[in-house]
A and B are shown apart, each in its own frame.
Chain A
Amino acid sequence: MPRPAPGQGIKVNFITREGETVTVEANEGESLLDVARANDLDVEGACEASLACSTCHLILDDDSFSKLEEPSDEENDMLDLAFGLSDTSRLGCQVLMTKELAGLTAKIPSATRNMYVDGAKPKHH
């Protein structure tokens, strides 16, 4: 899908794993997963939006979350397997952008910590 002309799209904020807020623009009807991918944000979509994984898990702001319809049972089944599940968790592939959602903020949850890289290392022999 072509990207919206600057200023013409629906504004979406992503909070990256590093904590940085990135504001991008979405087309109407585009999923949050597609918006993230189109903007090179680090959101996976392993099963390609077929509701068979939770790799596009995003945490939405309360207000935007409440504007959306309830997730389907199938989406909830996959969310139950997501890392860091929260009350406002959704699968990015299932949230389609509308004008009402302008200004939505989606946090990309970190999947794992790496103690080896970030923290104390095992001793070296």
Chain B
Amino acid sequence: MMFKTKRDDEEEEQHQGQESDNEEGGNTDREIEMEGPEAEDAEMEEETVWSIQELSCSKICSGSEDRVSRSFKVAVVGSGPGGFYTAHRILKQVPQSSIDMYEALPVPHGLVRFGVAPDHPEVKNVINTFDEVAENPNFRFIGNTSVGTFVTPGSKKADLEVADLAQHYDAILLAYGAHEDRVLGVPNEKSLRGVMAARSFVGFYNGLPSEQDLDVDLSKTDTAVVIGQGNVALDVARILLTPLEDLKKTDLTEKMIKILEKSTVKHVHVIGRRGPLEVAFTSKELREMLQLPGTTFHMDRNLLASEMERAGKSLDRPRKRLMGLLEKGIKESKPNQPKSWSLQFLRSPLEFSGDGKDGTLKAIKLGINRLEGEDNNRRAAATGAKEELECGLAFRSIGYKSVGIQGVPFDSRKGIVPNVDGKVIDENSNIVPGLYASGWLKRGPIGVIASTMADAYQTADTIISDWTRGEPMLDSLSSGGAPVLDILRSKGHKVVSYQDWKKIEQKEFEMGTRLGKPREKFVSVDEMLKAID
């Protein structure tokens, strides 16, 4: 994925115009259309825990005269771009700030490491800024240390809860991202071999430890389907169709390279429930798909023409360029190449069907839609017509979603921590002193590096404003995270520092050099921890 982008949410296909809306009016709530079983799930998850409010209320000092002289202690939960860019801004603007960044894994950088596509190394240049932040003497990375048990039943207990941190910091920034993906809620989605979340697949090939047991076999079929038309969907399609010799030069894991060596996948269909004007992918990613060697591109030329005619002059520049690129792609596509990919529109999966013998995906039943509603808010409505598409692999790519953690307000419908410009609020829109959010947890799983950075800076400005104006925060009189670390160590917990991470990274670079690639990632927490010693 991304940084680059993850505007990958078919549920939230965005027009660029909406980005400008955000700019004009602060946080614009995006409408998330929920359908069928998904909506029911959300209802059930609606029970939310708000206990941080009570916790923090007892700790507020109304005055803050001492803030001028003492250090400003901030805990950041999560080490992706949302966390790092917020930390960057706070350290720059508040010289007496001191930041502890907690990360559940031994390795930092979140989706820059585990989401950004291996063949987009230039996007990973953002890490240089993160390294600069980490070199600040007032910054401490606390890796291998999870904060906040997920509210999902059966979740593993975290090393620390938000309440454990509250007594040691002035502010806690939540930036732990989006851990789950949206499901379609159709029969056999979870039971058949060959059907998986794009999020899991992306995590698998990027070396995310929790996804390394994913059952990935690309050698049983020549056809894969990706459901969803965002940039994650195109990342998956591109990884499946890019010549292996090109991918071998990237930091794609050797484990994935071995799987791709046996791949028989030749055709990839990328399916969306609405039309070409509603796609969520962006032009860079589309251009890459159209430049794949030996690959024919298919799409309904008449649908594109009629949709463009209907939209007429109302298209903004980004959308106009994107549609122009599709037109050019259709026109210049070379027929009868060994591989192919297609964009298919107005199709909603109704059911996955499998082979009775071994429970492997054989086909997807698709419902055919038509578009209804206003120009800028068109909905897919079922026509009642159906068709079947044979395939042996299907990747669900209709968006990521965040999960709530213990003791923190969470809006399960939107899949975010409710907030005003990064300031966390509870269900009655009361502010929760000292608690902030940034990244995808703050505004949902969309946006490129520029929007994530701008958004993180907005949260940083909110935090800095509260600090300098003497607004109530957690106002801990403790000296910061040292006591927390002492407790963890006394329990035998292994804390990973940024210097430790640099040792891990050095070994990854060395392994990469031997393999002729930029780095070879460790794919298990044990290997990462061993690399430090």
- Residue numbers of A with Cβ under 8 A of B are 44, 46-48, 50-55, 57, 73-74, 76-78, 80-85, 111-117, 119, 121-125
List residues of chain B with CB within 8 A of the CB of A115: 25-27, 420-421
Distance (Å) between the CB of B160 and the closest chain A CB? 26
A114 to B89, CA, bound (A): 14
A117 x B20 contact (CB < 8 A): no
Distance (Å) between the CB of A18 and the closest chain B CB? 13
Segment at the interface with A among B71-79, B120-128, B364-372: B120-128
SS class of chain B's interface: helix, strand, loop or mixed?
A: helix
Residue B348 CB within 8 A of the other chain? no
Given contacts A52-B4, A114-B458, A115-B26, contact A125 B431 (CB under 8 A): yes
Q: Which of B318, B448, B455, B462 contacts A116 (CB 8 A)?
A: B462
A46 x B317 contact (CB < 8 A): no
B448 x A81 contact (CB < 8 A): yes
> Given A83-B20, A83-B454, A125-B57, 5 more contacts at CB 8 Å?
A47-B125, A47-B126, A80-B283, A113-B24, A123-B431
Q: Which of A48, A76, A112, A117 contacts B128 (CB 8 A)?
A: A48
List residues of chain B with CB within 8 A of the CB of A112: 22-23, 26, 454-455, 457-458
Segment at the interface with A among B36-44, B384-392, B408-416, B422-430: B422-430
Q: Which of B3, B321, B425, B451 contacts A76 (CB 8 A)?
A: B321
Q: Which of A57, A76, A113, A117 contacts B465 (CB 8 A)?
A: A117
B26 x A73 contact (CB < 8 A): no
List residues of chain A with CB within 8 A of the CB of B16: 80-81, 85
Residue B450 CB within 8 A of the other chain? yes
Given contacts A46-B129, A50-B125, A55-B449, contact A80 B318 (CB under 8 A): yes
* Cβ contacts A to B, 9 pairs, < 8 Å: A52-B123, A53-B3, A55-B449, A55-B450, A77-B321, A112-B26, A121-B431, A122-B430, A123-B429
List residues of chain A with CB within 8 A of the CB of B253: none
List residues of chain A with CB within 8 A of the CB of B22: 112
A54 to B451, CA, bound (A): 9
Distance (Å) between the CB of B121 and the closest chain A CB? 9
List residues of chain A with CB within 8 A of the CB of B431: 121-125
List residues of chain A with CB within 8 A of the CB of B123: 47, 52-53
Q: Which of B283, B322, B449 contacts A53 (CB 8 A)?
A: B449
Interface size class of B (residues with CB under 8 A): 35 or more
A125 to B380, CA, bound (A): 42
Distance (Å) between the CB of B18 and the closest chain A CB? 12
Residue B461 CB within 8 A of the other chain? yes
9 closest A-B pairs by beta carbon, nearest first, are A111-B454, A50-B122, A80-B318, A125-B430, A116-B421, A115-B26, A52-B122, A77-B284, A77-B283
Residue B282 CB within 8 A of the other chain? yes
Residue B5 CB within 8 A of the other chain? yes
List residues of chain A with CB within 8 A of the CB of B322: 80
Distance (Å) between the CB of A96 and the closest chain B CB? 19
B420 x A122 contact (CB < 8 A): yes
Q: For chain B residues 271-327, which have a beta carbon within 8 Å of chain A?
A: 282-284, 287, 317-318, 321-322
List residues of chain A with CB within 8 A of the CB of B19: 81, 83
A115 to B28, CA, bound (A): 12
List residues of chain B with CB within 8 A of the CB of A117: 421, 461-462, 465
Distance (Å) between the CB of A8 and the closest chain B CB? 31
A73 x B287 contact (CB < 8 A): yes
Q: For chain B residues 50-88, which have a beta carbon within 8 Å of chain A?
A: 53, 57
A85 x B125 contact (CB < 8 A): no
Q: Which of A82, A111, A113, A122 contacts B423 (CB 8 A)?
A: A122
Q: Which of A48, A76, A111 contacts B450 (CB 8 A)?
A: A111
A48 x B283 contact (CB < 8 A): no
Beta-carbon nearest neighbor of B432 in chain A: A125
B450 x A53 contact (CB < 8 A): yes
Distance (Å) between the CB of A110 and the closest chain B CB? 8
Residue B99 CB within 8 A of the other chain? no
Residue B166 CB within 8 A of the other chain? no
SS class of chain A's interface: helix, strand, loop or mixed?
A: loop
A38 to B457, CA, bound (A): 21
List residues of chain B with CB within 8 A of the CB of A57: 450
Residue B363 CB within 8 A of the other chain? no
List residues of chain B with CB within 8 A of the CB of A125: 53, 57, 426, 428, 430-431
Q: Which of B125, B321, B420, B450 contacts A82 (CB 8 A)?
A: B450
Beta-carbon nearest neighbor of B126 in chain A: A46
Q: For chain B residues 319-365, which have a beta carbon within 8 Å of chain A?
A: 321-322
B453 x A55 contact (CB < 8 A): yes
Distance (Å) between the CB of B329 and the closest chain A CB? 13
A46 x B453 contact (CB < 8 A): yes
A74 to B120, CA, bound (A): 14
Beta-carbon nearest neighbor of B283 in chain A: A77
B461 x A114 contact (CB < 8 A): yes
Tell which of A57, A123, A125 has the most Cβ of chain B within 10 Å.
A125
List residues of chain A with CB within 8 A of the CB of B57: 125
List residues of chain A with CB within 8 A of the CB of B3: 52-53
Distance (Å) between the CB of B84 and the closest chain A CB? 11
List residues of chain A with CB within 8 A of the CB of B24: 113
B453 x A44 contact (CB < 8 A): yes
Given contacts A54-B448, A55-B453, A117-B421, contact A123 B23 (CB under 8 A): no
Distance (Å) between the CB of A19 and the closest chain B CB? 17
A121 to B317, CA, bound (A): 34
B425 x A122 contact (CB < 8 A): yes
Tell which of A50, A76, A116 has the most Cβ of chain B within 10 Å.
A116
Return the CB mask of B135-179 against A: 1 if under 8 Å, else 0.
000000000000000000000000000000000000000000000
A47 x B122 contact (CB < 8 A): yes
List residues of chain A with CB within 8 A of the CB of B425: 122
Return the CB mask of B497-518 against A: 1 if under 8 Å, else 0.
0000000000000000000000
A15 to B9, CA, bound (A): 36
Return the CB mask of B452-476 against A: 1 if under 8 Å, else 0.
0111011001100100000010000
